[in-house]
Amino acid sequence: MARNSGRVETRAERNIRWIETHCRVPEGRLVGQPVKLRKWQKDEIKRIYDNPHGTRRAILSFGRKNGKTALSAFLLLLHLCGPEARPNSQLFSAAQSRDQAAILFSLAAKVVRLSPEMSEEVTVRDTAKQLLCGELGTLYRALSAEASTAYGLSPVFIVHDELGQVRGPRSELYEALETATAAQENPLSIVISTQAPNPTDLLSILIDDARGEHDKRTVLSIYEASEEADPFDAETIKQANPAFGDFQNAEEVLAMAEDARRMPSREPEYRNLILNQRVEVIAPFISRTVWDSCGGEVVERFDGPVYGGLDLSAVNDLTAKVYVSKVDGVWNVRPTFWLPGEGLREKSRSDRVPYDVWADQGFLKTTPGKTIQYQFVAEQLYRECQDMDIRKIGFDRWNWKHFKPWLLQAGFTEDQLEGDNAIFEPFGQGYQSMSPALRDLETA
């Protein structure tokens, strides 16, 4: 029962009370003092534990240095030796590197050692990065993506720490742990991270799916700065940083903002890590804003003059062909990309790029076998040259001698391939050729 009021205490209120009673601040100027959760932290705990539908997955995302790891440690201990603990259960945290995995373990171990009650109940195994509550038989292990395997486990509670660091749509560690929960009743996964920079990264996919509210058992809480707001203003920074001016050093963060204002090359990283926006950390040649503004339906058929570019692959990397044509005063772009169909899923996994997903969606074409079939590409080029007014196709000189026979076999003549009136025109991908072309594109 809640104290004084006689009202029945909610699950979240019970958990908040336990944390503030038993946990100690693990480091910093208040080290050793009882934890005093901020209102926003209590609100997150209430979202997780007072969800009327029950929570299977909670996604929390905000900027760096807002106490993500400390909050994760408190939730972890709730399930190890607190009121959420289940006898003989397995708990895990998952990170992308051993160093990152060690951070959460180290912080949780410090909380245990600073607590008179927990230090008697919980055994800290530093070398193995484990915490064991002997009385309950609950065991926590810190895992990293660098570990040899995460299969054969049966977790009831998982913290996915900084999942935004995963590049691409898949993580073997994430999938191994999530599928391992099937044997448990009401398992809980906590994803706590700064946003991933790319919309095709795993965390972005999970966030976008949660925003669709397809599953009431998934709770989502994102602190991110508005893209329309001044990115360097303190009020904008606060949108993504609930601890700004509290246990996040406001002076340091404002200095980062000033650095990003003064040096544009640092702005993407600042927007991603501090403002928690989905922005590429490395500034691309074409910004995402410009890219998105060019979206739209491309006409089915190009009736006017068409110009193309062709980039051949060696064995099993991408072959790309792009056509452009002006339609009603607007340049329309129609790209085509090929990869070998055999081994596509393995390549997706090794490159951490969702080639197989793009193939299923129709954005990527596959050729039979383990290597790109030049015959397949050449025959398609010939059909398109019969169907459209293709004036020029620029191509990389590399591997041309191996591709040319297939073009001749497909139906092209020698005059179309080489000479003053040829459709195909060599274009290098080095500085000498690309620099003036990119400059003209940028100023167009």
User: What is residue 1's predicted lDDT score, i.e. its pLDDT?
Assistant: 43
In this structure, are 149 and 45 located in the same domain? yes
Q: How many domains does the chain have?
A: 3
In this structure, are 144 and 120 located in the same domain? yes
pLDDT tens digits for range 320-344: 999 999 998 889 999 999 999 888 8
pLDDT tens digits for range 357-377: 889 988 999 888 888 888 888
Question: Measured between alpha carbons, how far is 340 from 347 in angstroms, rounded to an integer?
Answer: 10
In this structure, are 163 and 262 located in the same domain? no
Contact 309, 321 (CB under 8 A): yes
Question: Measured between alpha carbons, how far is 44 from 11 in angstroms, rounded to an integer?
Answer: 13
User: What is residue 439's predicted lDDT score, i.e. its pLDDT?
Assistant: 81
Cα–Cα nearest to 74, from 39, 118, 123: 118
Residue type, 299: V
In this structure, are 262 and 383 located in the same domain? no
Dihedral Cα 265, 271, 272, 275, nearest 10 deg: 160
Query: Has residue 113 been placed in a domain?
Result: yes
Last residue of a domain, one of 266, 291, 316: 291
CB atoms within 10 A of CB 359: 19
In this structure, are 191 and 331 located in the same domain? no
The CATH number given to whatever domain includes residue 388 is 3.30.420
Query: Has residue 4 been placed in a domain?
Result: no
Question: Measured between alpha carbons, how far is 244 from 251 in angstroms, rounded to an integer?
Answer: 9
Query: Has residue 6 been placed in a domain?
Result: no
Question: Measured between alpha carbons, how far is 443 from 441 in angstroms, rounded to an integer?
Answer: 6
In this structure, are 280 and 384 located in the same domain? no
Question: Measured between alpha carbons, how far is 382 from 407 in angstroms, rounded to an integer?
Answer: 8
In this structure, are 154 and 39 located in the same domain? yes
Contact 345, 354 (CB under 8 A): no
Query: Has residue 135 been placed in a domain?
Result: yes
User: What is residue 148's predicted lDDT score, i.e. its pLDDT?
Assistant: 57
**Which H or E element spans position 160?**
strand 155-161
In this structure, are 28 and 162 located in the same domain? yes
> Which pTM does this prediction carry?
0.73
Domain enclosing residue 403, as ranges: 302-443
The CATH number given to whatever domain includes residue 212 is 3.40.50.300
Which residue bears the tokens 């607007």? Answer: 330
Last residue of a domain, one of 170, 194, 222: 222
Last residue of a domain, one of 222, 243, 277: 222
User: What is residue 288's predicted lDDT score, i.e. its pLDDT?
Assistant: 66
Sign of the alpha-carbon dihedral angle for 363, 335, 407, 434: negative
Query: Has residue 228 been placed in a domain?
Result: no
pLDDT tens digits for range 24-36: 999 988 899 999 9
Helix (H), strand (E) counts: the chain: 17, 14
Contact 19, 26 (CB under 8 A): no
Query: Has residue 296 been placed in a domain?
Result: no
In this structure, are 128 and 186 located in the same domain? yes
Query: Has residue 227 been placed in a domain?
Result: no
Decide: helix, strand or coil at residue 311.
strand
Residue type, 113: R
Cα–Cα nearest to 186, from 377, 18, 56: 56
Question: What is the chain's mean pLDDT, rounded?
Answer: 90
In this structure, are 169 and 274 located in the same domain? no
Q: Which residues in the chain land under pLDDT 70?
A: 1-5, 147-151, 281-284, 287-289, 315, 444
In this structure, are 435 and 398 located in the same domain? yes
Residue 154, beta-bridge partner list = none
In this structure, are 274 and 419 located in the same domain? no
Quick one: three-class SS letters along 199-240?
CCCHHHHHHHHHHCCCCCCEEEEECCCCCCCCCCCHHHHHHH
The first and second tokens of residue 360, run together, are 């299923």
Question: Measured between alpha carbons, how far is 219 from 192 in angstroms, rounded to an integer?
Answer: 12
pLDDT tens digits for range 183-230: 889 999 999 999 999 888 999 999 999 999 899 999 999 999 998 899
Residues in the chain: 444
Helix axes 68-80, 39-49, angle to 10 degrees: 40
Query: Has residue 358 been placed in a domain?
Result: yes
Question: Measured between alpha carbons, how far is 91 from 97 in angstroms, rounded to an integer?
Answer: 18
Indicate the DSSP class of residue 24.
Answer: B
